């Protein structure tokens, strides 16, 4: 390495060390802290330097606000976007064709009456046939288990926290019993008949496929 580079590096290091020294000595510890540092250092067999460094760190940072990471806002799907996704799913061009579609009639047979004059009706179709609506992932609150609202989505594997490719019958039973201990109506504090009924339906569904 050229001599000039070595000198420059040495100068830089020296300058950096000076800055650190100045920073570390900018706050003088009072006798109370120094005595406590000595006491703790003797007690734990640690150099006083370690406690001094930690003390300076606390003094310099205890008032700093923690940086919070804001979750990016999720732009909700428009009604037009939802409709387009449904049309594509059933290979139709518009609502008129959708209602006439044999595949659509068969797929929605047994569903509650759909009101396709409002967005809510289309959202129900999206949840059932397309997937999770953006913004409804990792939901919390009543009816939400493992991030999914069980009254809006039929996703038993996620609710039971199981891998559909690897879960055994015993795994499914174990997951069901674990949730039953929480949501069975006989459980005084956390029992809920509506949630338990939904869990039973999911359990029967994936048990039949296991």
Average pLDDT (3-32) is 56
Which tens digits make up the pLDDT trace of 92-127? 999 999 999 999 999 999 888 889 999 999 999 999
Alpha helices in 26-65 (DSSP H): 31-44, 48-61
Q: What number of helices (H) and strands (E) belong to the chain?
A: 10, 2
User: Which residues pair with residue 148 across a beta bridge?
Assistant: 145
Gyration radius of the chain's alpha carbons: 31
Distance from C-alpha of 26 to C-alpha of 182, rounded to nearest angstrom: 56
Predicted TM-score of the model (pTM): 0.62
Q: How confident is the model at residue 134 (pLDDT cuts 50, 70, 90)?
A: very high
Q: Which of 12-16, 87-91, 106-110, 134-138 has the highest mean pLDDT?
A: 87-91
Which tens digits make up the pLDDT trace of 146-202? 999 999 999 999 999 999 999 999 999 999 999 999 999 999 999 999 999 999 999
Structure tokens at 143: 């009816």
Please state the domain extents for the chain.
Answer: 31-62, 79-130, 144-208
**Domain 144-208 CATH superfamily:** DnaJ domain (1.10.287.110)
């Amino acid at each position: 390495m050229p001599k000039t580079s070595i000198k420059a590096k040495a100068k830089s290091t020296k300058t950096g060390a000076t800055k650190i020294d100045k920073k570390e000595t900018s706050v003088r510890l009072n006798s109370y802290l120094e005595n406590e540092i000595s006491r703790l250092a003797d007690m734990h067999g640690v150099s006083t330097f370690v406690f001094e460094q930690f003390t300076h760190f606390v003094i310099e940072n205890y008032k700093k606000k923690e940086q919070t990471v804001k979750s990016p806002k999720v732009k909700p799907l428009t009604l037009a976007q939802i409709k387009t996704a449904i049309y594509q799913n059933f290979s139709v061009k518009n609502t008129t064709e959708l209602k006439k579609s044999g595949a659509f009639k068969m797929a929605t047979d047994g569903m509650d009456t759909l009101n396709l004059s409002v967005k809510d009706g289309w959202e129900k179709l999206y949840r059932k046939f397309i997937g999770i609506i953006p913004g409804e992932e990792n939901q919390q609150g009543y009816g939400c288990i493992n991030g999914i609202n069980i009254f809006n989505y039929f996703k038993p594997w996620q609710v039971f926290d199981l891998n559909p490719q690897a879960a055994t019958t015993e795994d499914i039973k174990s997951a069901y019993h674990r949730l039953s201990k929480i949501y069975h109506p006989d459980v005084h504090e956390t029992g809920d008949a509506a949630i338990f009924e939904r869990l039973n339906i999911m359990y029967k569904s994936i048990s039949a496929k296991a």
